[in-house]
Amino acid sequence: MTEAPRVPSVRPDLRGWEAPWDQIRAVVAGLGLSGFAAADTLAELGASVVVVDAATGEQRQRDAETLGLVGVSDVRLGAEHTESVPEVGGAAPDILVTSPGWRPDSSLIQDAEARGIPVWSEVELAWRLGGRPGARQPQWLTVTGTNGKSTTVRMLEAMLLADGRRAIACGNVGVPVLDAIRDPEGYDVLAVELSSFQLHYTELLDPLASAVLNITSDHVDWHGGMQGYAADKAKIYENTRLACVYNVDEPATEQMVAEAEVQEGCRAVGFTLGTPGPSMLGMAEDLLVDRAYLPQRHRQALELGELADFGPLAPRHVVANTLAAAALARAADVEPAAIREAIRGFSAADHTIQPVAKADDILWINDSKATNPHAAEASLRSFSDVVWIAGGLPKGVEYDELIAQVAPRLRYVILLGTDSSQLRSSLRRHAPDVPVVGGGVREDDSEAAAEQGAADPTAAAALEALLSGTDGAAAMRAAVAEAARVARADETVLMAPAAASMDQFASYRARGEAFIEAVAELMERP
């Protein structure tokens, strides 16, 4: 790490609530949660605002009407309004505040950059504003990574609350940061989840502590490649004040810290599932311990909790996320007793290693949020003998490394998705002895279907058709029925797709709900 000279910002005058926002012309791109919050905030500040969104559905129409009530009357819906940056009040805008979904190669963003219009995320706008005048001015603890961000910030929020802080999990986790910083009372601490998309459009933050949990291939098409994706993730460390938290077991995150320009006195703090060295948090047998935030860290460790505090399930990646959250919480002087209290009272978010049912000694687990190979691997490593329901929209990732790592844990695989042939091919190469059904096998390919685990070629072809059809609910019912047919006592049926959901479902949540409903129907049968 090197000490960061303060990078000159674009529009340094726009800092704080008393800045000349009423002289600003702004365009807000996107009318989702973050875009609505940005438009609402800018209107409150007195800026002139135009909102554009390609969508024209009923929800967007209602959002536009609501914005009109707070003073944003110029809302332009339809793709034709997103080809270039519109004028505001007859002149070019001063800033474009974009929602995370807008790709850097979109015509709107390209037009802004060509014309020298600063492009900000709503996070950038929130950081510039700080807390509301007269309210608490929050410290920021920031988290990013390919997987585990939401679990980590929710655990971090629980630790802060248990310590008596007024805190909230916000950002990519659900509550826009702008809504949090506009709270009339204000917060002591914000636990901020940041996606790579948000970081891409964020100029510079100054968090108390920051963390990259892990880094693996995801959204590489959006970022133009793995290098761009990793560079955007690494931005979270820039200008950190006290602690840059990295994953000891993933050296790429430590390298990000080494290359970051930080404020004077900032430290590198690692977390690991192994035995921690000085300036790390980790495991001492079944204990979670801190060897970073205590004076005698070269000779002592501070107990924060134990595996039994997690209850009957303590998946490795959940423990790792907890250690990362604890590293950030300890940077904010959270007491060890509060960390232990948070662990004991914490329950994982829905669709993340979520136990759904147990019957006939078979455990059914919903991890629909495992939308990439890294997340699925973490889930699969939590169990031994697995009937795996996987597949979907692959997002341009590779599966060979995943399958090579988890093949010994797989007993049977059921592939959802209109075309999961890439995952199926990896299974054939690296787990050739594991029976597989699904993956986009043609209905008339009965020989291949029979080879993949079904005795009756006609029934196999029918199953393949259901699993690869566009009716997600029907596909999930078929997958669950097939899992029930083949699962044995002491095995786990794990739905951890390693792929996105949009080919058959509206979202990973919808996919998870379909799994829960299908399992419930199965349990109700005589």
Binding-site annotation, residues for ATP: 145-151
Q: 453 or 428: whose pLDDT is higher?
A: 428
Residues 162 and 277 in one domain: yes
Query: Has residue 409 been placed in a domain?
Result: yes
Binding-site annotation, residues: 145-151
Beta bridge partners of 37: none
| Across 243-252, 258-267, 344-353, 483-492, least confident range | 344-353
Residues 308 and 360 in one domain: no
Residues 101 and 243 in one domain: no
Q: 320 or 220: whose pLDDT is higher?
A: 320
Instruction: Count CA within 13 A, CB hemisphere, residue 300.
Output: 6
Edge-first strand listing for the sheet containing 362-366 = 354-359, 362-366, 492-495, 386-390, 410-415, 436-438
Residues 400 and 461 in one domain: yes
pLDDT tens sequence across 137-157? 999 999 999 888 888 999 999
Angle at 303 between CA 302 and CA 309, to 5 degrees: 160
Residues 341 and 448 in one domain: no
pLDDT of residue 447: 40
Question: Please, are residues 437 and 413 in contact by the beta-carbon 8 Å criterion?
Answer: yes
Strand ranges (E), 431-483: 436-438
pLDDT of residue 441: 45
Mean pLDDT along residues 74-96: 95
Question: Please, are residues 169 and 154 in contact by the beta-carbon 8 Å criterion?
Answer: yes
Question: Please, are residues 297 and 278 in contact by the beta-carbon 8 Å criterion?
Answer: yes
| Across 2-11, 267-276, 328-337, 472-481, least confident range | 2-11
User: 494: closest CA among 397, 411, 405, 374?
Assistant: 411
Mean pLDDT along residues 233-250: 95
pLDDT of residue 220: 57
pLDDT band, residue 217 (cuts 50/70/90) = low
Mean pLDDT along residues 331-345: 96
Residues 35 and 111 in one domain: yes
Q: What share of the chain is helix, strand, coil (3-state, %, to 5)?
A: 40, 20, 40
Give the CATH number of the domain where residue 41 resides: 3.40.50.720
Give the CATH number of the domain where residue 414 resides: 3.90.190.20
Residues 231 and 172 in one domain: yes
Residues 239 and 196 in one domain: yes
Looking at 117, 144, 162, the residue that finishes a domain is: 117
Looking at 68, 91, 117, the residue that finishes a domain is: 117
Structure tokens at 395: 């997002």
Q: 3-state SS string over 104-142? A: CCCHHHHHHHHCCCCEEEHHHHHHHHCCCCCCECCEEEE
Query: Has residue 318 been placed in a domain?
Result: yes
Average pLDDT over all residues of the chain:
89
Q: 8 or 205: whose pLDDT is higher?
A: 205
Is the pLDDT assigned to residue 61 strictly greater than 80?
yes
pLDDT of residue 413: 97
Looking at 310, 345, 380, the residue that finishes a domain is: 345
Structural domains in the chain (count)? 3
Query: Has residue 502 been placed in a domain?
Result: yes
User: 55: closest CA among 34, 29, 19?
Assistant: 29
What distance in Å separates the CA atoms of residue 171 and residue 236, rounded to the nearest whole number? Answer: 13
Query: Has residue 125 been placed in a domain?
Result: no
Residues 273 and 366 in one domain: no
Range of the domain at 403: 354-524
Residues 327 and 398 in one domain: no
pLDDT of residue 450: 43
pLDDT of residue 228: 78
